[in-house]
Structure formats: C-alpha cells, structure tokens
Structure 1
Amino acid sequence: MKSCGTCGMCCKLMAIPALEKPAASWCPKYVMKTGCGDYEGRPQACRAFECLYLTAEGLSDAWRPDKAKFMIWTGREQGRLIIDVDPSAPMAWRQQPYYAQIKAWSDRRQPQPFEVAVRVNGKLTIVFPEADIDLGAEQALPIESGYDTANRPFARYVRT
C-alpha cells in the first residue's frame, strides 16, 4: 500500500480556507520532508482530500506528486480528473510518461470517461486526446466540454 511519506505536495498546492492558506503556497503547518506538524488537528479539507496517487492502482512511484511535480485528484465532481501542477514546474504534466497517460485518461470514448482539467498558475486547460484547450484564468463557473457536431473538441465556461 502506498503512503504519503515525505511528499506533502497537497500541503503546497491545495487552498485551505480554514487556515487562510492560498493555493500554491506551503501550509504553515507543513514540516519540510517530514509531513504535517499537526496531523491530528489538521482541517477537514485536509482530512477529506484523496490523492489519486495513493488510491489508484497502477500508478508507479514516478507519479508520486513530489516526484511528478503535480497531484491528481477527483474533487467532488464525478467524471473529472483535476491535475494541480506545482508552479515551480509548470510543464511537468506535459513530460513523459505523464502526458501520454493524461491524454489516454481524457479519451471520452472510454466506458467511464473523464474530463481532464489541468490547473497551472491560476490557469485552466481541458485536455482531449487530440487537443489541449486553454481556458485562461480559472473562474468559479461551470465548464461545458465535449465534441461539437463536426467532432471537434470544445471547452468553455458557462455563464448563467
């Protein structure tokens, strides 16, 4: 069984409202190369977080977030994989072996397809096997994505 060990990438990349910690900054409770300095007292957001590296079978040690420089999770939205990338390595997700697997996950012809959303430095990209669609600055709006009638991928924010 995999464990977090000394990783702590979630302690850097996640926003933790209970601690007033913004995304992409180290948590004040994180002890470098050790882990959470207040593990028993950590906020609910930390307790509830599930890193896909820990839960998905078949992801080798190369996918450990502190090695890959990104973390993968599903959030609360079914059918969406979220890849949060360390701002110090913004292109890490496009390196091999990661990029080929991310593209494979984005194939909507699978029995259980995923929308793959990559977040880097406040910007959002929706990944398809044939294209990466840059949506620009991340917004607190729903996203609609898929294929148009000409079978071209699309992704856009939906303004209500």
Structure 2
Amino acid sequence: MEPSLVTTTATPPARACGTCTMCCKVYRIEDLNKPAGKWCTHCAIGSGCKIYDVRPQQCRTFDCVWIQDPSMPDSWKPEHSKIVFSVWPATGFIYGQVDPGAPFAWQKEPYLSGLRAWSEKLLQERRHILIFVGSNATLIMPPGPVPIGPMSPQDGFVVRETFTARGKDYVATRVAQGG
C-alpha cells in the first residue's frame, strides 16, 4: 500500500515525538513528492523537521498511535519498534507501516505477541490490524499473521473464519477497487 500519512484523532497528543522521526521515512508525503520508505529531505533524522513552520498539512495533522496512546509501552515508540501505527479514518482499523530497512521488525518480540493480543481486543470492536511492509499487507489475527499480499489504498479485504484440525483460523483475501 503506498502509504500516506493518516490523521489519527483530533484529541491533543498524550506524548511528544522527541527524537523519533520514523514517520518522515515510512510515509509518502504527496505535497513534497516524497515516496514512501525514503527519508524526507526536510527531516533532520533524530531531531525533527527542518521546515516545521511551513510543513505540509498532511504532516501537521498526523500523530501516530504511540503519540496518542499513553498506555502503549515505550518499546513500541516507532524509532525503537520500526513500526509507525496510525488509524485509518474510514474504518478505524490500525495500520502499521514498517520501516523498509527493518522489514521483519514486526515479527520480533514483544511486537508479534503484542499485535496478536491487540488484534483480539480490536476484533470485539469489529476492527483489525494490518501490517504493511511496502505495499505487502499482512492481517494480524489472534492465532497469528494472515498474509494478504500487495494492496493499494483503494483495495479492501475480506476475512473468512475457517476451522482446521488445530482449531479456528482465518483467511484474508484482497478485494481490488471495484471488485
């Protein structure tokens, strides 16, 4: 999914970015023609934005989930976890964009078990967590990751519950735009 910054909520941030600038790398910033997965030329890595006072609106309105949620452990701060979480406004789903320089970061602990537990809580609200490494999406479900594959911002997905000899499992299928 060519990710772009997604506004999370309108509530005041619970934390500050400090030295974290990971969102300046993982997201596409349309107004600056900045591709996803590359550092913004205006980013002073570990310090902040060199054009902070005139930064694009999409940057002004963005706060990652770590900033918004004070209960999220410090180890989940994007500069440590290499994952920037945001809320997709249309669905309330949680999207985790992984630093392409650390594509397996989400599969390490404490992140994978934390993602599985988080997905179980979100399921009660009929919400999901999707992890993106570039455009490749993986749905996180309580039993474990469910690969979806390449997704565009217009795509959706369908989740189907299955039962195997091991118990409940899930299958996720991408639904292309208009499909």
Verify the 8 A CA contact 2:135 2:152 in the aligned structure 1.
no
* Higher relative contact order, chain-length normalized (CA < 8 Å, sep 6+): 2
Verify the 8 A CA contact 2:64 2:85 in the aligned structure 1.
yes
- Report which stretch shifted further, 65-74 or 107-116: 107-116
Q: 1:7 aligns with which of 15, 20, 29?
A: 20
CA distance in 2, matches of 1:43, 1:139: 23
CA distance in 1, matches of 2:159, 2:88: 20
Indicate the residue corresponding to 1:155 in structure 2: 172
Q: Residues 51-70 of structure 1 correspond to what in structure 2 (within 5 A)? A: 51-70=64-83
Q: 1:33 aligns with which of 33, 39, 46?
A: 46
CA distance in 2, matches of 1:108, 1:130: 13
SS at match of 1:99: helix
Q: 1:85 aligns with which of 71, 74, 98?
A: 98
C-alpha distance 36-148 of structure 1, shift in aligned 2 (>3 A): same
SS at match of 2:97: strand
Letter paired with 2:90: E
SS at match of 1:106: helix
1:141: Cα distance to partner? 3.6
C-alpha root-mean-square deviation of aligned residues, in Å?
Answer: 1.9
C-alpha distance 145-41 of structure 1, shift in aligned 2 (>3 A): same
1:146: Cα distance to partner? 2.8
Verify the 8 A CA contact 2:151 2:174 in the aligned structure 1.
no
Verify the 8 A CA contact 2:162 2:171 in the aligned structure 1.
no
Q: Deviations over 1:64-91 (max 9, x none)?
A: 1001111111132333100000111111
CA distance in 1, matches of 2:158, 2:114: 20
SS at match of 2:35: coil
Letter paired with 2:97: D
1:28: Cα distance to partner? 1.0
CA distance in 1, matches of 2:94, 2:29: 19
SS at match of 2:24: helix
1:113: Cα distance to partner? 3.9
**Number of aligned residue pairs:** 160
CA distance in 2, matches of 1:50, 1:21: 18
Q: Deviations over 1:43-78 (max 9, x none)?
A: 011112120001113112111100111111113233
CA distance in 2, matches of 1:146, 1:136: 14
TM-score, scaled to structure 2: 0.81
Mark the runs of 5 or more structure 2 residues left unpaired by the alignment.
Answer: 1-13
Matched, 1:136 2:149: yes
Matched, 1:95 2:108: yes
Identity of aligned residues (%): 31
C-alpha distance 108-154 of structure 1, shift in aligned 2 (>3 A): farther
